[in-house]
Chain A
Amino acid sequence: MSRLLPFVFIGVVLAVWEAVARSGLWSPLLFPSLEKIGRELMLFFTRTEMLGEALVSLERALGGFALAAVVGILLGVVMGRSRVVAGLLDPLFSGTYAVPKLALFPIFIFVFGIGSLSKVALVFLECLYPIVIMTCAGARDVQEKLLWSARNMGASRAAILRRVVIPATTPFIFAGFRVAVPVAMIVVVITEMISSADGLGYQVIYAMASLKTDRMLAVVVVIAALGYLLDKAVVLARDRLIYWEKLDTYYV
């Protein structure tokens, strides 16, 4: 019984949805039945142009995320290991942390154009913060004992960085990734909803504007599944790479 409990809640929600949809109290525009949503989902996966839309969104999210990962890890490690750099950059990052970077989007459109580049740039900027902050926290808190031992055994600075600092920081880097991946999806979908002619976010707005609630919900399901799968991919990579330690946190 207790093993089934997790599915009870989800099952009840779906059952209530179907009951509401079939009751006829509200228009099917408000609550399309699960069957209709399922049919739209089937259509989504059988039509290549819709899969193309998903690919466009995925490319933007992963492109911005990859850039942020490279820059963020570099900055984070340097900030964590050098007090001078931390003193310079930390006020910049903590000062602008709570500022919604999304507000820069209209300006990015003028600078980078209305295509993918402005969206990738915004994804990069939003993903940079969690990755830098987590990496910096990890690199700063490497155990002194380990650094001393390595130095004592005659390790060069490069060897210490590669053999001690980077492995000790990796769990934190993945914790940063775990925050940044959903952020990348959020930013892509939002920017596509605001101004775009392609991508999943645009498809949501387009379906709503043409009063196709069932199709809109199907796209929402696809976006949700993508977000879930990307998170699972990060967790899988983490468990593969850092089998010796688990830092299972969503937030700092």
Chain B
Amino acid sequence: MAVAKASLLIAVLLVWQLAALRGLPEYVLSPVQIAAFFAQALGTRELYENIGASLGRALPGFLIGSALGAALGLAAGTARWFDRLLSPAVFLTYPVPKIVMLPIFMIWFGIGDLSKVLIIALACFYPVFINAYTGARQTRTILVWSALGMGASRWQVFRRVVVPSAAPMIFASLRVSLALSFIVMFAAEMINARSGLGHMIRVAENSLRFDLMYVSLAAIAILGYAGDRLVRLAHSRLLAWQQPA
């Protein structure tokens, strides 16, 4: 079954490998070559340092942005005055590409890691805010009434009814914001950085080191995939009562 599922992937890799044997441009390496270079790079310190630098930016940004998004989204979804105050500004700026703020952040917070972490946090804030907000607003009124009828305080209603009913939506948005954090991290590092996977691919590009280019590409692909699996695992563990979307 697993073989049948991956059949197309295997077919693509096979065609790619066969095409490489017949001669491809030098900037397209064959899958076997990429695997060999990656295995080789796994033995160097450089790769781990760059991965560490990249994760050191992406993860704090993801955590700060998602936590703020979830907290403010739940607050706006439950308190009407807060909703009126904050939501229009958020929905207004939602379709704006947040990466354009990077140069401004670089001027305000320096060209070091702080500006990158903050831009990642900003990008991660939006999807989590919108889903937490929608999730909180979609809480079934009958549940809230029952809880109030049984003598629950406002805080208990929030903690025991609103948060659990918004949780599936929040987890769905965490998947989006984690993917987003890697994209923004990579973009920020390609634009301006002295370390990290985005920097590595830039250097490789400029010095025509195609092997390093593909190593960096493979590393970011594996990180992105693993991160996504972790979020989905956490989702199915923590919200066992609900089928993951």
Contact = CB atoms under 8 A, between A and B. Distances in A.
A associates with B: yes
Interface of A: 2, 5-10, 13, 29-30, 87-89, 91-92, 95-100, 102-107, 109-111, 181-182, 185-186, 189-190, 193-194, 201, 204-205, 207-208, 213, 216-217, 219-220, 223-224, 227-228, 230-231, 249-252
Interface in B195-245: 197, 201-202, 204-205, 213, 216-217, 220-221, 224-225, 227-228, 245
Contact of A100 (B130, B175, B182, B205): B182
Interface stretch (B60-68, B79-87, B144-152): B79-87
What's the dominant secondary structure at chain A's contact region?
Answer: helix
Nearest to B201: A106
Nearest to B90: A9
A87 B130 CA distance: 32
A197 to B, nearest CB: 15
A190 B175 CA distance: 21
Contacts of B108: 30
A181 B225 contact: no
Nearest to A27: B107
Interface stretch (B42-50, B98-106, B158-166): B98-106
Interface in B89-103: 89, 92-103
A91 B9 contact: yes
B187 interface: yes
Given A88-B8, A91-B9, A252-B245, A6 B88 contact: yes
B108 to A, nearest CB: 6
Contact of B95 (A182, A204, A216): A182
A2 B92 contact: no
Contacts of A186: 97-99
Nearest to B221: A99
A107 B88 CA distance: 40
Q: 6 tightest CB-CB pairs across the interface, nearest first?
A: A98-B228, A6-B88, A231-B95, A5-B84, A110-B27, A186-B97
B125 to A, nearest CB: 13
Nearest to B81: A5
A102 B176 CA distance: 15
Contacts of B84: 2, 5-6
Interface in B1-29: 4-9, 12, 25, 27-28
Contacts of A224: 93, 96-97, 100
Given A9-B86, A185-B95, A189-B100, A194 B190 contact: yes
A33 to B, nearest CB: 15
A205 B188 CA distance: 12
B224 A91 contact: no
B107 A220 contact: no
B130 A103 contact: no
Contact of A102 (B175, B186, B225, B227): B186
Contacts of B228: 97-98
Contacts of A189: 97, 99-100
Nearest to A29: B107
Nearest to B99: A190
Contact of A204 (B103, B183, B217): B103
B88 A204 contact: no
A205 B103 contact: yes
Contacts of A2: 81, 84
Given A91-B5, A230-B95, 11 more contacts: A95-B225, A96-B225, A98-B224, A106-B204, A106-B205, A107-B213, A182-B95, A194-B187, A194-B190, A219-B100, A228-B95
Contacts of A104: 217
Contacts of B225: 95-96, 98-99
Contacts of A111: 25, 27-28
